[in-house]
Structure 1
Amino acid sequence: MIHHSDAGSQYTSFRLATHLAAEQIAASIGTVGDALDNALMESTIGLYKTELIKPQRPWKALSDVELATAEYVDWYNHRQLHGEIGHVPPAEYETTHYQSTQKQQVTATI
């Protein structure tokens, strides 16, 4: 597993490095001043917070957030229609993509 982040002080701290090492997670830090490095992730997290976290607060327990997050990810990937990919869910788009790019198998009959 890899933990990728920007070069913020919370991500370059000794405490986080120690925790990641203890869990056998490799640290990866993007280049300083490169706004494009994590723009997609920040956009995704912003959407997650806007659609799920903020509307349902206050949360009673971490387990409630974990369950709601799993349900949100499932909904987002399997039922939410995305305009940029033809108004289909990402999982359907990915399946269609891989089916259309697979090479045709040629079989010989004797």
Structure 2
Amino acid sequence: MGSIVATSVYRQLLHDHQALRSQSRRGDCDDNAQAESLWSRLKTEVLELRERPVFADLADAQASVAIYFDYYNHERLHSSIAYQLPYHTHQQILQLNALNCPA
């Protein structure tokens, strides 16, 4: 399947399911840096350690990704945020925003 045909099929599938494409802005490679990092970690910390086939079925894939996301946000320390947990960092930001936002 050519790339133009694949793109057309992909766009139609998104449209059929009322989904929106998420893309970075032209020329801004940092737009999706956090998301790209997350998927990279999932790939290296989970998928590459599994035997083939990686998942038994769609439900297994969904459960595995959900478990990893929970670990990633609540247990895995991140060097980019001074070895804190993303969940705790996010909660701190929310509290600061609430304090700085006039009611």
Using the size of structure 2 for normalisation, the TM-score is: 0.72
Identical-residue share of aligned pairs (%): 24
SS in 1 for 2:21: strand
Q: Equivalent residue for 2:57? A: 61
Q: Distance in 1 between matches of 2:5 and 2:23?
A: 8
Correspondent of 1:19 among 10, 13, 18:
13
Deviation at 1:103, TM superposition (A): 2.5
- CA deviations on 1:83-106 (whole Å, 9 max, x unpaired) are 22122210101101221332379x
Q: How many angstroms does 1:43 deviate by?
A: 3.2
Deviations 1:27-73 (A, max 9, x none): 355566x4716662333322211001110232322322211110000
In structure 1, distance between residues paired with 2:8 and 2:57: 28
Q: 1:61 corresponds to which letter in structure 2?
A: D
Coordinate RMSD, CA, aligned: 3.1
Q: Could you report, residue by residue, the CA deviation over 1:5-46 in whole angstroms, capped at 9, with x for unpaired residues?
A: xxxx379621111111111113355566x4716662333322
Q: How does 1:1-110 map to 2 (within 5 A)?
A: 9=3, 13-27=7-21, 29-30=23-24, 34=27, 36=29, 40=33, 41-58=35-52, 59=54, 60-103=56-99
Unpaired runs of 5+ in structure 2?
Answer: none
Kindly indicate which of the two structures has a greater share of residues assigned to strand: 1
Structure 1-normalised TM-score?
Answer: 0.68
CA distance in 2, matches of 1:100, 1:29: 29
Count of aligned positions: 97
Query: Which protein shows a greater Rg?
Result: 1
Which whole-Å CA distance do the structure 1 matches of 2:19 and 2:79 have between them?
A: 35
Post-superposition, which runs of at least 4 consecutive aligned residues in structure 1 deviate over 6 A?
Answer: none
Q: Is the 8 A contact 2:76 2:85 kept in 1?
A: yes
